Chain A
Amino acid sequence: MTDAHVVGSGIIDFGEKYEWAFDDLLEGAYLDLVESVDHGIEPTKDIDAIWYGTLDIANEGSSGASVAHATGLFEKPATQIVNACATGSDAFRNAVQAVKAGDVEVALVIGAEKMLDSTEGLIGGAALERLWRGRGVTMPAFFGMRATRHMDQYETTREQIAEVSVKNHENGTKYPHAHQQFECSVDDVKESATVSYPLNLYDCCPVTDGACAVLVTNDERSREFTDAPVRVAGYGFSTDSFMRGDDLALTNFPASRQASSMAYERSGYGPDDIDVAEVHDCFSITELITYEDLGFCEQGEGGTFIDDGVPHLDGEKPVNPSGGLLSKGHPIGATGVAQIAEIFEQLRGEAGDVQVPDAEVGLQHNIGIGRNATGAVSCVNILER
């Protein structure tokens, strides 16, 4: 069986892109990819199949036909993946599996979301009917409940949680495609408006339009596109729910532990081998508990981990050098693909002002909340140069 390799990436600047239609987002990321492949690409000839991630929040991009319309890549298999906020990562994982299986030689993975064309919004979508099944539970509430319990159980402080946002905003000012490019202090986070106690506005990622694409191929074709391919060393995907009764699911995400265990096992790497990580920080608390779920620190030690500066850009294990979702933004279908693109750049030494020195192994982690805020999905991919 062949390995799968990432051999190109393309991204548009994330932000409020009112002038751009949904198709323009896809086309922009696709063109940036086509123009940046080291040795060039003849897309209609080279690309065998497309995996396309979008929740289609703007209701403009359903089915694989949408990506064909936006890019001109007709007469090929094009599959839409929808898997909550882990949509983009799961599109990537599916493409990797097809390449490894030998069924596809060159796959395009592309994700896009036009969040700001939604008339209802994600909070509005959580109507109060059938509350006990999660209706009425907004995303800040769902993640805020982990914060409340983590603070109670492990004496994690409000300041430690805020520090995640401070770190990621600082990184975001150095990352050219980030939506929110400003620095903030722990006090700024604590004094920003309460969205859902204990989380405030600066604990929450912004609402952002964006798109990103990566190119995946096999051993044989990889050098055709670049002299510096990035190998996909492992991947994992899992689902779990706090409703299954495990107390761990009240503070953390068992699905992330399962997905990362699978990825570690497939790759032969462990948490100590990871040089750089892009993880899901839809809220500050999400990143803090993810340090624990990925095994970067012990259970309950996420607060100390950030206090000690370990995940900072100049720390021992930099997490979210791109600014993460908190600064870069979270256009759902594009989010996971953009994390992959950042790890690809990091491992090739092309990450500019947020470059982690000598990064050889990178991890990408993306979770999603589904079934009316009762279940979680988690995807982890490990890449190496």
Chain B
Amino acid sequence: MSGPRYHRTREQDQRLVAFECQSCGYVSFPDEKQTCKRCGDAPATFEEVQLAERGEIKTFVVQEYLPDDIEVPQPLAIVDLPQADGSGESARVYGLLTETELDELSVGTEVEARFRELFDDGERPINSFKFSVPREVKR
């Protein structure tokens, strides 16, 4: 391999940059493409948009059974992240959660992206985000 493939999306990982289809308003994250997943426009015109760091849990699970080298419980959610300026649609993303207590989590819970080292590929740290329940929202 000419280089680690996850380096192609450093911008999206580290700054929550997304791409809005100018035909249908679909917000693509993390994919930066020339075709639209929703309306099929090809070629589509996309404009770069900034996502907010706070979003809402649409659904979640808590993974208890994973390969030995991965910490469990490992909560995982689908999160809608709105655009930072409040315009247009949200982006729908997968994200790990830092919370492991079930009573902290429900559909509709507000979460915040926290940027951190997600893992190490042996040569370099890979930085991305996990979601946490913001302190003032905690029950």
Contacts and interface: CB of A to CB of B under 8 A. Distances in A.
Nearest to A375: B37
B37 A243 contact: yes
A197 B64 contact: yes
Contacts of B107: 148-149, 152-153
Contacts of A123: 65-67
Interface string B5-36: 11001000000000000000011011000000
A194 interface: yes
B127 interface: no
A45 interface: no
B58 A196 contact: no
B63 A140 contact: yes
B82 to A, nearest CB: 13
Nearest to B28: A243
Contacts of A242: 78, 92
Nearest to B38: A244
B37 A194 contact: no
Nearest to B9: A130
A4 interface: no
B115 to A, nearest CB: 13
A194 B5 CA distance: 33
Interface stretch (A31-39, A99-107, A131-139, A301-309): A131-139
B102 A245 contact: no
B116 to A, nearest CB: 12
Given A243-B37, A250-B78, A132 B93 contact: yes
B22 to A, nearest CB: 16
Contacts of B61: 140-141, 144-145, 148, 196-199
Nearest to A153: B107
B44 interface: no
A186 to B, nearest CB: 20
Contacts of A199: 61
A193 to B, nearest CB: 8
A243 B126 CA distance: 24
A134 B58 contact: no
Contacts of B45: none
B118 interface: yes
Contacts of A152: 59, 106-107
B60 A131 contact: no
B69 to A, nearest CB: 9
Interface string A108-145: 00000000000000011011111111101110110011
Contacts of A141: 61, 63, 76
A241 interface: yes
B83 interface: no
Contacts of A21: none
Contacts of B92: 242-243, 245
B96 interface: yes
A149 B118 contact: no
B70 interface: yes
Interface in B80-139: 89, 92-96, 102, 106-107, 118-119, 121, 126, 128
Given A138-B65, A145-B60, A198-B61, A128 B76 contact: no
B49 interface: no
Contacts of B29: 132
Nearest to B59: A149
B14 to A, nearest CB: 12
A131 B118 contact: yes
Which of B9, B60, B61, B96 has the largest count of A CB atoms less than 10 A from its CB? B61
Interface of B: 5-6, 9, 26-27, 29-30, 37-38, 58-67, 70, 73-74, 76-78, 89, 92-96, 102, 106-107, 118-119, 121, 126, 128
13 contacts: A136-B74, A145-B77, A145-B78, A152-B59, A152-B106, A152-B107, A193-B64, A193-B65, A194-B64, A197-B63, A241-B37, A245-B26, A250-B59
Given A130-B5, A136-B70, A245-B26, 12 more contacts: A131-B96, A131-B118, A131-B128, A138-B63, A141-B61, A145-B60, A148-B59, A148-B60, A149-B59, A196-B61, A241-B37, A374-B94
